[in-house]
Amino acid sequence: MKTALALRHIHFEDLGTLEQLLRERGFDVRYLDPAVDDLTVVDAGSADLIVALGGPIGAFDEDAYPFLAAELRLIEQRLASGRPLLGICLGAQLIARLSGAKVASMGYKEIGFGELTLTEDGQNSVLAPLAGVPVLHWHGDRFDLPAGGKLLASTPRCAQQAFAFGDAVLGLQFHLEADASQIERWLVGHCAELAQAGVDPRTVREDARHHGAALAKATRLVMEDWLDRLQGMGVRPE
Amino acid sequence: MDTSNSNTYPTALGVEDFRRNLTAVRARISAACARSSRDPAEVRLLPVSKTVPEERIRLAYAAGCRELGENKVQEALRKAEAMADLTDLRWSVIGHLQTNKTKYVTRFASEFQALDSLRVAESLDRHLQAEGRSLDVLVQVNTSGEASKFGLPPEDLARFVRELPAFSALRVRGLMTLALLSADPTRVRPCFTLLRDLRERLRQDAPDGIVMNELSMGMSGDFELAIEEGATVVRVGQAIFGVRAVPDSHYWPDPPLTSTPKEHIP
C-alpha cells in the first residue's frame, strides 16, 4: 500500500480535505509531529508522498525551535530523492529556504479567503482548477521564487503563492486543504494572530461557509490531477 | 466486504491476463447478481482506463473490451484519437467536466456520466446540435454528502431533471454516483440505496422523453455491493488493468503487505 506522510506542526493545520482524497487513492495516511516526534529516524525516501504542512513558526526559527533542524534535514533529503513532496505554507517556505530562496516577513498578514491569479505556467499546471476559487490565506512571511522553480500563482498581497519543481515538488503558500467545516479550530487556535492583524473571525467564518464547498471540489481536481501525473513517475497507481 | 488493494491485482501484461481479469470480474458480477436475484445481463461492465497507456488499452481491446471509461476529457480525447483505428471502441467520460471542455467530449464520446450543471448541459447540447449528433448522459448525484464530491445534492435532483428536456441532443439515461469511501458496508450501502430510491422517485414524475433506467454505481472496491442495490453500470479499473507494469520492487524495495482499508479505485 502507498504511504502518505504528513508533517503536522499544530494540530488543526492538518491535511484537511486532502486526507480523504489520499485515502480514496489508496494511501495509508500517517502524521508525524516534528515538534515531538523523532524525525532523524524517518527514511526520507520511503513514503510515496510527503506533505509538509503549515504552522505559525518561521522558516528560519531553528534557534528558538531546535526541532526545525531535523525537519529541514528530512525535507532536504526528500528533495534530493526527487520523490513527491508537497509543501503548504510553512512547508513551502521550508522547501523554498532549502532551495536557496529568501523567506522573510511581508510586514503584514494575509489572512482570509481570496482568489489566486494563476500565471501562464499555473494555468497549465495541476493548479488550473483553482482559477476563480477563493482559497484560504494565513501567513505573514513570504518566499522568493526558488531558482529552478516555476511560479504558478500570485495574489495582490503576495506575488509568490505557489511554485513547482518539475512534477514532483509543489510549494503552496496558501491553504487549499482547509476544511471549511473545521474552520472554527483555526479561528480559536489563531485568535491572538487574528486580533493582532485586525481580522474579524466572523468574516473568515462567513467566507468559509460561503466558499468551502467550491474549494473542496477544486482541491479534489488538483489532487487527482497531481496524483495521476505522479503515477507516471513512480508513485504506485491506486 | 472486500479488501481490494494494489497487492491484489497484478499488472495485466498480455491479452491472456486481460481475458482472465475480465472473466474474474464477470464472475464476481454474476455472483452478486445471483445473491440479489438479478440477471447478469442487466449489469454493464465499464472498464476504466484512466492513466493506462495506449499499448495496454490495445491489449484490453484484443481481449474483448469494446468500451472504456475515462475520468479526464483531454486524456480520453488523446487516446480516442490515437486509437481511432479501433472503430467499434466506445468511450465514456465519467469524471467532472468544466464548461470550457465540453467541446472535446462531443468530438469522441458516446456517453457522459457526470452531468451536474445546467451550464454544462447547455454547452454540450449546443456543440452536439452543431455536429448533428446526440449523447447519452447520466446525472451525477452526491450521495455521500461530502463537500469535495461532485454531483447534485439529492434535494436538487428533481428540479434539475425537469430542465433537461430543453437540451434535446442529450439522451438522459439515468444516474451516477461515487459512494463514500469506507471499509464498513453499512456506511457505503446507503449511498447506493439512496441513488436507487432517487431513480424510483424520478421515474414517477420524469418529464417526457427522459427514461431513467441506468444506475452507474460501484467501482473495483464496492461494485458487488452496488449490484446488490441495483447497479446497472459498474466502473471497474484496477481489477481489470491491474497496477502498472514496472515491478513494485523497482521503486519500493520493501513494500509493506499489510491489510488495507478499502480504496476508492475505479
Where residue B250 falls among pLDDT bands split at 50, 70, 90?
very low
A227 → chain B, closest CA residue: B51
pLDDT for residue B254 is more than 60: no
For domain A2-233, is the CATH number 3.40.50.880? Answer: yes
User: Chain A residues with CB-CB distance to B under 8 A?
Assistant: 1-3, 17, 20-21, 23-26, 28, 46, 129, 179-181, 212-213, 216-217, 219-221, 224-225, 228, 231-232, 234, 236-238
| pLDDT at B8 > cutoff 70 | no
List of chain A residues whose C-beta atoms are within 8 Å of the C-beta of residue B261: 23
How high is the pLDDT of residue B248? 37
What is the rounded average pLDDT of the residues A55-84?
97
Phi, psi torsion values for B265, nearest 5 degrees: -100, 140
B184 in a structural domain? no
pLDDT at B6: 43
Q: Do A238 and B181 touch (CB under 8 A)?
A: no
In this predicted structure, the answer to whether residue B173 has a pLDDT above a threshold of 60 is yes
- The 8-class DSSP code of residue A146 comes to P
Q: How many CB atoms lie within 10 A of CB B7?
A: 16
List beta partners, residue A108: none
What is the phi-psi region of residue B85: left when phi exceeds 0, alpha when psi lies from -120 to 50, beta otherwise? alpha
pLDDT class of A235 with cuts at 50, 70, 90: very low
Q: For residue A224, list chain B residues with Cβ-Cβ distance below 8 A.
A: 71
Is residue B166 situated within a structural domain? Answer: yes
Look at residues A219, A16, A45, A205 and name the one whose alpha carbon lies nearest to residue B96. A219
Q: In this structure, is residue B182 part of a structural domain? A: no
Q: Is the ipTM of this complex over 0.90?
A: no
pLDDT, position A233: 62
Mean pLDDT for all residues in chain B: 89
Question: What's the domain count of chain B?
Answer: 1
- Residue B76 C-alpha from the chain's centroid: 13
Q: What is the arithmetic mean of pLDDT over B199-212?
A: 86
Alpha helices in chain B (DSSP H): 15-35, 54-62, 73-82, 102-108, 118-131, 157-163, 185-204, 223-228, 238-241, 248-251
Question: Are A13 and A52 a contacting pair, CB within 8 Å?
Answer: no
Closest alpha carbon within chain A to B248: A236
What mean pLDDT comes out for the span B194-212?
Answer: 89
Whether residue A23 and residue B264 make contact (CB cut-off 8 A), yes or no, is yes
DSSP B163-211: HGGG-TTEEEEEEEE-----S-HHHHHHHHHHHHHHHHHHHHTPPTT--
Chain centroid, CA B37 distance in Å:
23
Nearby residues of B81 by Cβ (< 8 Å), 6 or more positions away = B108
Burial class of residue A115, CB neighbours in 10 A (0-12, 13-18, 19+): middle
pTM: 0.87
Q: How far is A213 from chain B (nearest CA, A)?
A: 5
Q: For residue B255, how many other CB atoms are within 10 A of its CB?
A: 15
* Active site residues per annotation of A: 89, 175, 177
Can you give the CATH number for the domain in which B116 is found? 3.20.20.10
Mean per-residue pLDDT for B55-69?
96
Q: Which domain holds residue B30?
A: 6-176+192-264
Which H or E run includes A114?
strand A103-114
